[in-house]
Structure 1
Amino acid sequence: MSTLTKLIEEYLQYCQARKGLDTKTIRAYRADLRDFGLYVESQNGDFLKKESIGNYVDFLHSEKAPRTVRRKIASIRAFYHYLTYMEEIAENPLYRLDLTFRLPQRLPRYIPNHVMNTFYQELYAQKEKANTPYQLKCAVRDIAVIELLFATGLRISELCGLKREAVNLYDGEIRIHGKGDKERILQLTEKATISALAEYESLFQAEIRRSEYFFLNKYGHPLSDQSVRDMINRLAGAASISMHITPHMFRHSFATYLVNQDVDIRCIQEMLGHSSIRTTEIYTHVDKAKQRNVLEAKNPRKLLDMENVR
């Protein structure tokens, strides 16, 4: 085992035992650092030299998408910070190495209202078409999942990791443990959402009682994000929706619809669980329909007195 491989493994153990990072984050760190190690070894480089790290970053820029490059750089930065902190190395080779670059602006993709209506019609139609108790339970769970995603803007990881004691339908609120183990409480105000969750809880009460999680699969295990993706794809296909819909698009749609109704951006930030207002500001783009309505009704050109214009 090379020195770099050994240090990477020690770092990952530290992330799990001392920092308490979740399995998905550690898996991503492992993949990013493994790729870095393989590149350095293939080039006969030295992981303590700025030149080796700089060459790897240049390689990433030539091969990977900008957001992937940013994530891999962040993984490397955290690794070398650990090495310096633990005094495994005398000096951090990332010091005075410029790794910053501008990401292209990409607006979040949300689900248009007419597509959302079509999706919801199919969602509830599946319940009406259920022929067996098992099919009914699955349809009821699917409705509860989508209703909660769209009504609260939860991340899919937050929904799948929702604990049973975090759901309080009596008071109409849920307690969320978001990124960085930050806790926030979201209010449930829509009657349709509360009703869907209550029906799900009633049908799955035996399974929920045996588990610490709220949303469960047929085996009584926590519902996975892939299961939710598969369910959304199945419903979209049944509804003949050509748009590719992902779980995260319900979060984008939740935020975008609120922004378009002039809800205060800091209120949206709190509901989404963003640590920075800059993250939430990506939703402040105005859709074309609203832009056209504003310009038609409020265009400053209308204020001109044409009789006095020569």
Structure 2
Amino acid sequence: MDFIEEFLQKTKADGKINSSTLVIYRKDIEDFDGFIVGKELIDVETIDVVKYIEELKKKYSDMSVYRKISSLKSFYKYLLKAKIIDETPIKGIELSNRVKRSTQALEKWELKKILDVCNESYEERRDSLVIRLLYETGLKIGDILNLDRENLEKYEYKMINLYSSTKIVTERVSEKLAEDLKKFSEESSVKMYTNDNKIFSGLTRESFRVRFINYGKRAELDRDISPNMIKKIIVEEKTRDEEGLSFLDRIREQYMRIGIGDD
């Protein structure tokens, strides 16, 4: 019996986890299953988990170890409740309290390495554009995923205008990004989703987060990353200089100097 699949389906049906967490749970449990070679998951003993934690600490931060073991705790709690096992092998194992840390900014060289590993497939071209938009505009991922072709075409892909009952946001993008967005929209996106006006149709916040983390691993970054670390770069770049201008203010100043943005 596939106990992992049974656990995931039951937990999802109960509404306890979303799609993103489902992917994380599956990977965490399958990684442990791969570690206990020659032993079934239902036959695991506490010593097996202890050895696994020791191995994890060689590769991951305390926060990541905490999360991975938390996934296993949920899995074995389910097996215990379903009376598949008589006792959880994680009982009595205590990990250090999860360290609360403020989100660190992604380094620019790390961002470049992530973009460099994206290939020319439809999905990875799309993801790289989303990453670049997050960096250049500082917009939320939800706003970027909702961008539609009509609005982008209206401003030749050089400006993003968002309107709602609570906000009006206008952000410019670089000439190169505008050019790449236009090419992607006209040559790829519209062909994949002919009846959808959204330029990034098919991508959700949860799936993008999972894919972004995977790009970090492919780029061989030696720390855990997440999309909100891109936002942190923007926050740091908004720090005022001696003249009271931020990095983004300087960019806008250049836009006006060369005539982009004049009425």
Q: TM-score, normalised by structure 1?
A: 0.43
Say which one has the larger Rg: 1
* Structure richer in helix, relative to its length: 1
Q: TM-score, normalised by structure 2?
A: 0.49
